[in-house]
């Protein structure tokens, strides 16, 4: 399947994405809360709840960034250990610095690595989560194949990702917010308007839900389904190895 991206080569996208996240790493959490009015916390909570059947099994949090989902994963299950992989060292560093002084610090293992070549052995994890990361991969199909490889049989993949609302009232309001309000406010706070213009264009260019579900099947996942949240502004995609 062809990547829906305006980048001529996957490696150009990779470099652009890494540089952009590096530039905003210090303000990422603040901007997330501000721009989503904290709804992002509910989205991560809801995603993590779907792993409740594996309270003690190891989980891979891919594209972990500043570790917000890793924190929720270890908050909801007191014995769970999480390998948190991201290819942007500055994002991981900002997340590590902000980790609370409780036992979760000992159960979150941040590692710098590429989601398209996951630095972990096959058949290792009960769960794999990716929050707002799949859209940023330069080779989505390859990344999905890697997620499948590192999961154990019956392991669960949970992808939390932006989708495009279809409701005729929400759609224009959301589009105005995403394309006009968000880059302006984020530009003021982060000093990098381009990073948030990329956010809007990458959401617009991302696969249709049905396409992503079929790519998950192609990677080997079964029982593949989508749960839209908040009028379809985001969706959770679920697959079982
Ligand atoms: C929007 S942030 C999401 C961070 C976090 N998961 C969250 O819920 O806020 C996307 C992250 O994906 C990472 N990323 C993008 N492409 C990647 C790749 N090929 N391998 C590893 N990480 C990648 C970026 O560095 C960035 O930290």
Q: What is the tens place of the pLDDT at every residue in 103-155?
A: 999 999 999 999 999 999 999 999 999 999 999 999 999 999 999 999 999 99
Q: pLDDT at position 1, please? A: 41
Handedness of CA 188, 189, 191, 197 (dihedral sign): negative
- In DSSP terms, which residues pair with 131 in a beta bridge? 160
Within a domain: residue 17? yes
Within a domain: residue 53? yes
Within a domain: residue 50? yes
Q: What is the tens place of the pLDDT at every residue in 95-107?
A: 999 999 999 999 9
Within a domain: residue 116? yes
Q: What is the tens place of the pLDDT at every residue in 16-67?
A: 999 999 999 998 898 888 888 889 999 999 999 999 999 999 999 999 999 9
Distance of CA 59 to the CA centre of its chain: 14
SS3 content of the chain, % helix, strand, coil (to 5): 50, 20, 30
Separation of alpha carbons 79 and 104, rounded Å: 9
pLDDT at residue 5 is higher than 90: no
Ligand 1 centre from 70 Cα, in Å?
12
Q: pLDDT at position 60, please? A: 98
| Residue of the CA atom closest to atom 7 of ligand 1 | 131
Give the atom of ligand 1 at the shortest distance from the alpha carbon of 67: 5
- Which residues form the pocket of ligand 1, taking CB atoms under 6 Å from any ligand atom? 17-18, 21, 63-65, 68-69, 86-88, 91, 114-116, 131-133, 136-137
Comparing CA positions, the residue from 124, 140, 129, 82 lying closest to residue 237 is 129
Within a domain: residue 2? no
Within a domain: residue 184? no
Domain count, the chain: 1
pTM of the predicted model as reported, rounded to 2 decimal places? 0.94
In terms of residue numbers, what domain contains 15?
A: 10-165+209-240
Separation of alpha carbons 70 and 219, rounded Å: 24
Ligand 1 centre from 64 Cα, in Å?
6
Within a domain: residue 64? yes
- The domain that holds 114 is classified in CATH as 3.40.50.150
Asked whether 85 and 119 are in contact (CB, 8 A), the reply is yes
Q: How sure is the predictor about 7, in pLDDT bands with cuts at 50, 70 and 90?
A: low
* Mode of pairing for the β-strands spanning 151-162 and 125-131: parallel
């Amino acid at each position: 399947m062809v990547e829906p991206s305006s980048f001529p080569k996957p490696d150009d996208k990779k470099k652009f994405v890494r540089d952009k996240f590096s530039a905003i790493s210090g303000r990422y959490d603040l901007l997330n809360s501000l721009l989503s009015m904290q709804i992002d916390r509910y989205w991560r909570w809801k995603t993590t709840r779907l792993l409740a059947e594996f309270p003690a099994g190891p989980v891979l949090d891919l594209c972990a960034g500043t570790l917000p989902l890793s924190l929720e994963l270890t908050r909801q299950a007191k014995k769970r250990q999480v390998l948190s992989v991201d290819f942007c060292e500055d994002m991981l560093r900002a997340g590590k610095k902000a980790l609370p002084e409780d036992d979760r610090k000992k159960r979150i293992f941040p590692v710098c690595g590429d989601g398209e070549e996951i630095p972990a052995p096959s058949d290792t994890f009960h769960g794999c989560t990716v929050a707002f990361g799949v859209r940023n991969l330069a080779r989505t199909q390859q990344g999905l194949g890697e997620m499948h490889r590192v999961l154990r049989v019956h392991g669960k993949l949970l992808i939390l990702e932006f989708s495009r609302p279809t409701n005729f009232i929400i759609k224009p309001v959301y589009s105005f917010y995403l394309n006009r309000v968000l880059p302006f406010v984020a530009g003021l706070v982060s000093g990098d308007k381009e990073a948030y213009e990329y956010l809007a264009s990458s959401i617009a260019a991302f696969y249709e839900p049905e396409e992503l579900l079929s790519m998950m099947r192609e990677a080997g996942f079964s029982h593949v389904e989508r749960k839209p949240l908040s009028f379809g502004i985001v969706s959770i995609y679920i697959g079982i190895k």
